[in-house]
């Protein structure tokens, strides 16, 4: 059930995320603001993961924190579609990551308590696989939504189409919260450990502390995926390769020929292509997550 929750949530998230770089560009900003957005969002999430993990241990109410986290993200994420300036996305992304920060540690604790220790790796791998399947479904839903808006409703304003796509991302988010509330059962004691709100690395062995150091070093050298998407969008726009490919296929060329001048058609083609690239990354992740787990 938690795997399904992750699938629906990531479908909602990835209807938006791969289109953020082109959306920011359409609002008149670029890579620097994108870096600020991602930096603030991930810092917020990381700090809250520690706090929510400690609180869920103390109270023993894992599911409550998971519900709160998923609900916050579901409500705030689609608001990306109503911002008037790119900097306002910082606020929306921050609250989205507040939700992620609150839910992640208690959710992982729920997974650990739901399976035997001998198959814990497989359980986490399966949950990650479901999450990545959602990250394949999300971009495909975004493309279908955009095609319906462009072709079915004759919409020619690409920015308005992006706004509607982001707003409709609330639907899979609601399905995630409903699945969580109705079908996920808490299989641990709700009494909590009663410890005070403290945290010290002394409680962990040397092996774990070494692992944390490795994670810090890796993360310092690991850029946000949003930058990768921004670079992909920039590359396909400059090369014109995708536009040439579409132009060489009569049916696709006929479909996009109705969208204004050459620049407008090129923009729409690139908008539709970016989620496909993002979905491909997650197909690879989904295939390998469970067996490697």
The confidence score (pLDDT) of residue 21 equals 84
- Structure tokens that stand for 58 in this block: 């103390």
Tell me how far CA of residue 290 lies from CA of 91, 124, 132, 137, in angstroms.
34, 8, 11, 18
The confidence score (pLDDT) of residue 264 equals 75
**Strand, helix or coil at 259?**
coil
Q: What is the pLDDT of residues 1-52, one digit of tens each?
A: 999 999 999 999 999 999 988 898 888 888 888 888 888 888 899 889 989 9
Distance of CA 118 to the CA centre of its chain: 29
CA 126/CA 155 separation, integer angstroms = 39
- Structure tokens that stand for 184 in this block: 């996920």
CB-count burial class (<10 Å; 0-12, 13-18, 19+) for 23 = buried
Tell me how far CA of residue 7 lies from CA of 132, 177, 276, in angstroms.
7, 11, 17
Q: What is the pLDDT of residues 114-141, one digit of tens each?
A: 999 999 999 999 999 999 999 999 999 9
Instruction: Please name which of 52, 62, 70, 61 lies closest in space to residue 177, comparing C-alpha atoms.
Output: 70
CA 238/CA 170 separation, integer angstroms = 33
CA 166/CA 23 separation, integer angstroms = 10
The confidence score (pLDDT) of residue 188 equals 60
Tell me how far CA of residue 34 lies from CA of 31, 125, 166, 230, in angstroms.
5, 30, 17, 9
| Region of residue 116 (phi > 0: left; psi between -120 and 50: alpha; otherwise: beta) | beta
Residue linked to tokens 């359980």? 123
Q: How many CB atoms lie within 10 A of CB 217?
A: 10
**Strand, helix or coil at 194?**
coil
Instruction: Give the residue ranges of the chain where pLDDT is below 50.
Output: none
CA 3/CA 80 separation, integer angstroms = 25
């Amino acid at each position: 059930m938690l795997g399904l929750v992750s699938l629906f949530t990531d479908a909602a998230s990835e209807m938006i995320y791969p289109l953020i770089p082109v959306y920011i560009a359409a609002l008149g900003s670029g890579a620097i603001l994108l870096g600020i957005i991602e930096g603030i969002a991930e810092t917020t999430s990381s700090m809250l993961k520690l706090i929510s993990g400690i609180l869920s241990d103390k109270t023993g109410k894992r599911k409550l924190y998971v519900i709160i986290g998923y609900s916050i993200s579901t409500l705030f994420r689609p608001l990306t579609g109503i911002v008037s300036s790119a900097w306002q996305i910082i606020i929306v992304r921050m609250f989205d990551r507040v939700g992620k920060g609150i839910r992640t540690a208690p959710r992982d604790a729920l997974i650990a308590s739901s399976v035997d220790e001998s198959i814990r790796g497989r359980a986490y791998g399966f949950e990650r696989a479901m999450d990545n399947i959602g990250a394949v479904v999300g971009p495909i839903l975004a493309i279908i939504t955009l095609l319906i808006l462009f072709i079915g409703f004759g919409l020619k304003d690409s920015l308005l189409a992006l706004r509607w796509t982001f707003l409709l991302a609330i639907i899979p988010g609601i399905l995630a919260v409903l699945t969580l509330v109705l079908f996920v059962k808490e299989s641990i004691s709700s009494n909590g450990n009663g410890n005070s709100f403290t945290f010290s690395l002394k409680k962990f062995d040397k092996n774990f502390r070494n692992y944390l150091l490795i994670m810090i070093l890796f993360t310092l050298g690991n850029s946000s995926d949003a930058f990768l998407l921004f670079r992909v969008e920039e590359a396909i726009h400059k090369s014109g390769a995708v536009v040439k490919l579409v132009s060489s296929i009569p049916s696709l060329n006929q479909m996009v020929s109705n969208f204004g001048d050459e620049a407008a058609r090129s923009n729409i083609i690139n908008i539709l292509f970016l989620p496909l690239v993002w979905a491909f990354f997650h197909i690879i992740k989904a295939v390998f997550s469970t067996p490697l787990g």
